[in-house]
Structure 1
């Protein structure tokens, strides 16, 4: 969710600065948008509070950008130096290799039972939970109210509305009538959001990949012909436009419409952009489903320390800490207790549209050990599907073939 290149190690001091009986290592992703908002501050505060009550345990946290964190963990694991815990984007490949503790072997029963059921299920491999959801978000369509007012248009509810609005915004000289970030940073999210709105998705009902389904090919053909081909997606071709760049352009007032998650509210609000939010448009009306995204906490069994790791994670997942992290970074809580507190709190009313659709949102097929490689392939290739003169069927067929090979190797 962030791509900052911020890296740092946070070392707790333990009681009185003396030596600790156990040192636990955690590699975490950075959700901040600047050095001032880096996740390093969140973890430093949490670790200080935990260590003050647990003098025999020291927690060392290293924070990396989303561009680097998954690779950092993989390199550590491959070198036989796995951290005790990692908070990253995917867990299933490590679970399949027998490298992770089961969530039930770590967490107390009340803490494990507090995870939202849909997210807990997504954390399972072969019906056993290894991935512990850490942060969640959903997507809605953001639009710039001032630009819409100047163009004399209303928020879209269908794909045709999007195309017509984009043409009206283009006629007004808007830089990005519709921002379509299919660049490598987070292309898998924009891709799935559009697939869902077209009645498709990455997988079919049985769970097997269906990337080149008739619905998905039709969706990307429409994007190629009705938006990209007509010059309605801005000066940067979608395959090179990263999500962070698209969000920055929206906050600068240069984007008419784009799919966004909760953090865009703060970024736009700080720049004085008046924005509106509507459910993702579909072919004939609001999309029947929306994208839900969860990031994951996992615990590696290489170093032991099961009891200490479990006790620390119980603290991480307390209502207080889940709420604090969610509010700090405009994300959705992954636990029932924190979700109820957020829904009841007036200070979180801006998150209501996202919170309401989380229980019925559709997540990436993160329980498939093949998803990591499929995800990487989508990031590299999907932009080609919407290039003028490109072949959506060809690109999606290539991705499907790669997914099928990865799936058969599971």
Structure 2
């Protein structure tokens, strides 16, 4: 397989890990008349030896059915992807198959970049086992424009040795979380209880949902933000008071993203951190000894039930203008067959997208992955509208709301009211 690196931009996912991927849509007799000697695949990120080796294996398997087709993979940096996609839309020079972040699929579908895969998904037997929320997240107006490839959720990492020294166990409620953080700080005065990603939205959504609030709901043709509700204000209060009142996270946490929080935990500055399963490798790189003393538990809700989580990751899609959509679909189904999906997701610290694989025994006894696997069975979606990208990434409405409270710039009442107004303005814009 020939590869070229680098031209285009999940952003951190995600962020953050946080993602462009393409699968194919409808085929026609015209496909038989086109040149099938090359299939162009866009993959997000910088690639690497392990991913290239994996994709070489996928190509070998694909060529059992299509021996005359050369699969050309182009790696595109996440931050450059929007420019690359827009240029492809304008100039007609797109891929056949593309990866994309699973929060991006609806937006590109609305811009008519992606092929409709509804019919293909309906007749693909393995596709029926993909986790329903992941499938739904790649739909627009009831049509399927992407196929989930891999996914991950957030949980909490903690220092098992520090917890033992402080005489506390993994918390299951918000009150227990604060108590555990304070107990560790009392034993470790030069540390703090929680590496809080105060300027990140996805960990916060787990608390919002567990408090009984929604981000936004649609009533007829209009979107209504949930940030004005008592439940949402309760979640914002809890999240921000970890800094302002309980002081189990430092003031600097108001500006931290998930990468910052991860680093703080890995380097021994915090007893706990909100983080994704895919961040294990980076933590071990920061501190090779961390795996000797870490554990995980689900993000707790206020009442003892684990909090829901958003499953981030990547979809695969087929470019609408591709003349090789049947060929592209064959490649996509090889890439996404269960055996390959398990292999690739595991190599990244993510999960495969199939419900039977996620529920399988391989995760239950893993001291790190067990908490994430349990959370994968308890996911929710961000608002299903192409305009959500502007709320989430361009305007960073939720992040700004929480940071302003942590910095003492606004009260919870002021911040939630203003965020709700801004969110509704964006989501309801004509």
TM-score of the aligned structures, taking structure 1 as reference length: 0.81
1:99 aligns to 2:113 (yes or no): yes
- Report SS of the residue matched to 1:150: helix
**Deviations for 1:37-86, whole angstroms, at most 9, x for unmatched residues?**
5x444334433543465233222223344444455434543554333232
8 Å CA contact 1:294–1:363 kept in 2: the answer is no
Q: Choose which of 191, 202, 210 in structure 1 pairs with 2:204.
A: 191
8 Å CA contact 1:28–1:69 kept in 2: the answer is no
Q: How many residues align?
A: 386
Q: Which residue of the partner structure matches residue 69 of structure 2?
A: 57
Once residues 36 and 404 of structure 2 are traced to their aligned partners in structure 1, the CA distance between those partners, rounded to angstroms, is 54
8 Å CA contact 1:370–1:403 kept in 2: the answer is no
Which structure 2 segments of 5+ residues have no match? 1-12, 18-34
1:215 aligns to 2:235 (yes or no): no
8 Å CA contact 2:89–2:113 kept in 1: the answer is no
Worse overlay, 271-280 or 39-48: 39-48
Q: CA deviation at 1:323?
A: 1.0
Q: CA deviation at 1:26?
A: 2.5
Closer/same/farther in 2, CA of residues 151 and 36 from structure 1, 3 Å limit: farther
**Deviations for 1:162-218, whole angstroms, at most 9, x for unmatched residues?**
2233233333234342111134xxx23122122123322312486743234332222
**Deviations for 1:343-398, whole angstroms, at most 9, x for unmatched residues?**
14479745343333323311223x31111111112376245234231323333333
8 Å CA contact 1:70–1:88 kept in 2: the answer is no
Q: Which residue of the partner structure matches residue 25 of structure 1?
A: 40
Once residues 160 and 4 of structure 1 are traced to their aligned partners in structure 2, the CA distance between those partners, rounded to angstroms, is 27
Q: Which residue of the partner structure matches residue 20 of structure 2?
A: none
Closer/same/farther in 2, CA of residues 56 and 403 from structure 1, 3 Å limit: farther
8 Å CA contact 2:211–2:231 kept in 1: the answer is yes
Q: CA deviation at 1:31?
A: 8.9
1:313 aligns to 2:332 (yes or no): yes
Q: CA deviation at 1:332?
A: 1.4
Which structure 1 segments of 5+ residues have no match? 6-19
1:389 aligns to 2:389 (yes or no): no
Taking only aligned residues, the RMSD between alpha carbons, in angstroms, comes to: 3.2
Once residues 79 and 402 of structure 2 are traced to their aligned partners in structure 1, the CA distance between those partners, rounded to angstroms, is 18
**Deviations for 1:5-27, whole angstroms, at most 9, x for unmatched residues?**
9xxxxxxxxxxxxxx73433332
8 Å CA contact 2:173–2:305 kept in 1: the answer is yes
Q: CA deviation at 1:334?
A: 0.9
Closer/same/farther in 2, CA of residues 140 and 180 from structure 1, 3 Å limit: same
Q: CA deviation at 1:315?
A: 0.8
1:138 aligns to 2:148 (yes or no): no
8 Å CA contact 2:258–2:274 kept in 1: the answer is no
**Within 5 Å, which residues of 2 pair with 1:9-408?**
21-30=36-45, 39-51=51-63, 53-70=65-82, 72-78=84-90, 80-89=92-101, 90-106=104-120, 108-171=123-186, 172-183=188-199, 187-204=200-217, 208-234=224-250, 236-239=252-255, 241-268=256-283, 270-273=288-291, 274-336=293-355, 338-339=357-358, 343-345=360-362, 349-350=366-367, 351-365=369-383, 367-376=384-393, 377-378=395-396, 381-391=400-410, 392-408=412-428
Closer/same/farther in 2, CA of residues 328 and 179 from structure 1, 3 Å limit: same
Closer/same/farther in 2, CA of residues 232 and 71 from structure 1, 3 Å limit: farther
Q: CA deviation at 1:308?
A: 1.2
Q: Which residue of the partner structure matches residue 31 of structure 2?
A: none
Closer/same/farther in 2, CA of residues 140 and 205 from structure 1, 3 Å limit: farther
